[in-house]
Amino acid sequence: MIAVVQRVSESSVKIEGEVKGEIGAGLMVLLGIEDADDTEDIQWLSKKITNMRIFNDDDEVMNKSVQDVNGDILLISQFTLHASTKKGNRPSYIRAAKPDVAIPLYKKFIAQVEADFGKKIQTGEFGADMKVSLVNDGPVTIIIDSKDKK
């Protein structure tokens, strides 16, 4: 699994002009799932995201997690994170999991994040044409690959 984690002051996702999810201060997370991902990836990545200290403390040092600042999380599925650009100019998405594999893992990931985070998160809709808006705070953007955990 690959996650692009952005510290935001606000973020939202619209589907067909309707707001599906929105948050104030917190994290907007883009999530890419591949066939090789499993429960271990879900658990590790969820804990990493919910505990990552990328929010400022009183001394303006990034020393607090999204939980510490009582922030929110908006999670968006994005298969294009697994694009291969090695050959030619048209990305290949061969590594991205097909919906029959990805959707159950995406739902398990949402449940795991909510369990680790201790509250409901906002989400987009798997496979939908989504319009994502955000104000990146900092800017702070972190890329995490669960395959790099060891």
Interior/surface letters 76-110, b for 16+ CB within 10 angstroms, e for the rest: bbbbebbbeeeeeeeeeeebbbeeeebeebbebbb
Question: Whole-number mean pLDDT of the chain?
Answer: 96
List, in order of start, the domains of the chain with CATH numbers. 2-148 (3.50.80.10)
Q: Which helix (H) or strand (E) holds 101?
A: helix 99-117
pLDDT digit string (tens) for 82-114? 998 999 999 999 889 999 999 999 999 999 999
Q: What is the mean pLDDT of residues 41-51?
A: 97
Confidence of residue 133 (pLDDT cuts 50, 70, 90): very high
C-alpha 37/C-alpha 11 separation (Å) is 27
C-alpha 23/C-alpha 30 separation (Å) is 14
Positions marked active-site: 80
pTM: 0.95
pLDDT digit string (tens) for 47-66? 999 999 999 999 999 999 99
